[in-house]
Structure 1
Amino acid sequence: MLVLGIESSCDETGVAAVEAFGSATPTLLAHALHSQIEMHQAYGGVVPELASRDHIRRVLPLAEQVLEQSGRALADLDVVAYTRGPGLAGALLVGAGVACALGAALNKPVLGVHHLEGHLLSPFLSADPPRFPFVALLVSGGHTQLMRVDGVGRYDLLGETIDDAAGEAFDKSAKLMGLGYPGGPALSKLAQQGRGDAFKLPRPLLHSGNLDFSFAGLKTAVMTQARKLGDELEARKADLAASTEAAIVDVLVKKTLAALDDTALDRVVVAGGVGANRLLRQQLDAACRRRGVRVHYPELHLCTDNGAMIAMAAAMRLQSGQQEATSVYAFDVKPRWPLAQL
């Protein structure tokens, strides 16, 4: 089974091809990605209309590139998958429209994929894929969730953010420090030059007794500290960045360990863009090593939004019988689509 996956939920256009045989883990044949970061930098964030227009320009050349790299032809495709949601409505419509038009032209079925399920299953693309069941820490730009995962489509939500997600806390804190867009990676890079204990910042809900998250208060504390520093901010910016990163990572690690305690599982999967964070990987690896717990991550280049995770999620859903591809080419998208509704 050869699956072409198209991702266009926000500011990356991704296309990939995966091949699946029987019940074996699908294999990534090729993938291509175009990031719009440079285009959006001038505006300090993603401009939805510009994002949609750029997806239109990029998706077909990327699909041609993937097919060439994989040594496959359009006629070899068995399923065309695309991100149905959540995401920016206009951007989602581009990927959905192209996928369904391609499916109709080839007389091949199509499958709409949940973007977060793509992230959740992306570690199966790595050289060290996980095994079910596991605790999943899903930390993307707009989502922070802990889940028990017993199989494809078998997700039990353990806790989630009640306001800002971890990725938003990184980005908003970076903006307060004048670090530009995208803020999260810039803050993490600057943090390597500072001290994580330089400023006492809050760890919201760390002792709440549940597995929910809250990062809005941390962002406010960063803003307050930046104002207190005044003219000293530039000289202390690395310390403030390091202290902010330390607070976010501390909460993520300790809540994940609490989820392991609650579920009695011995395996963790970390997925989403924040999963590439160096400090998070270091501290979670160390904490889990002491407990004899295995931790799995996507490859670093697959932590961001990409077509490979969409193609993989589609292939695994088809393999598991959780969903069937359809030859009905009318489509809709779901800009707001909780994973629990899948």
Structure 2
Amino acid sequence: MQFRYLGNSGFKISEITYGNWLTHGSQVENDTATACVRAALDAGITTFDTADVYANTVAESVLGEALKGERRPSLEIFTKVFGPTGPKGHNDVGLSRKHIMESIDGSLQRLQTDYVDLYQAHRFDFETPLEETMQAFADVVRQGKALYIGVSEWTADQLRAGHALAKELGFQLISNQPEYSALWRVIEEEVVPASKELGISQIVWSPVAQGVLSGKYKPGAPLPEGSRATDEKGGAGAVKRWLTDDVLTRVQELTPIAQELSLTSAQLAVAWVLQNDNVAAAIIGASRPEQVQENVKASGVTIPDELLGRIDEVLGGAVERDPSRTHERSPKTREA
């Protein structure tokens, strides 16, 4: 396992990070979830990412139980705040001071830890003054409940504004967590250059494009049983945008490129995002321990420029690059 610094800080994380967005408390049983976490630890992963909104707080509880007994200083535990939780009342969502201060305490209790290494604004809150949000984060850091602060799916302008306030308030904004894959490159034009300027790293989610870049979905073929695309609890909705014959045909053409590097297509996809020097980590999820064991093999891989060019040629017009798509990710109202 390779490790990278997160933003302009002295804080290192495993470049393959384990995340439990669509799995823990939802797609897989708790014993399987625990087995996946054990497989991650055995493979050298030390960084774990979750959020209070995942399975309406249950995912945090499952992760906390799975990590119970591990040496806390040897782990990096991340969680997030924004989405509606609990009974989803009018203050159970967003980045108000009230929601942040109550949410961090709930997350720590569920994760069975005194602090999280990184506390992240899961989306940008258009209805709360940014000054209020960043002051609350500053207080969370000063109380020792979080060591660092990050965000998720913020635009370049939002990152600049948040970073300036964090600096004024005496804490570090060191990370952004966007979707990023060989098929979804919307951060490259604006977010990545701004982040490099500010000393912010990307911790990217869905590097395998919800499993599509693994090559398991074949054009014109039935969806594989038990795959994310057949999961009506949330997985199917997330993956359906990629299930076109054009995309799936192009993805099949990546197989020979992966084979040249002695990688699977999924490993190639994870290794591809790690070639971006602004990416500190790729988040992988798993519904089986074997998936963790396979995907960690992407750590430390270097893809030659010639093969990166071939990947670009193969995927061609199937790649989404429009930077405005980041702005669409944050809801403009925060109704629970």
The TM-score normalised by the length of structure 2 is 0.29
Q: Which has the higher strand share?
A: 1
Q: Which has the higher helix share?
A: 1
Higher RCO (Cα < 8 Å, 6 or more apart): 1
The TM-score normalised by the length of structure 1 is 0.29
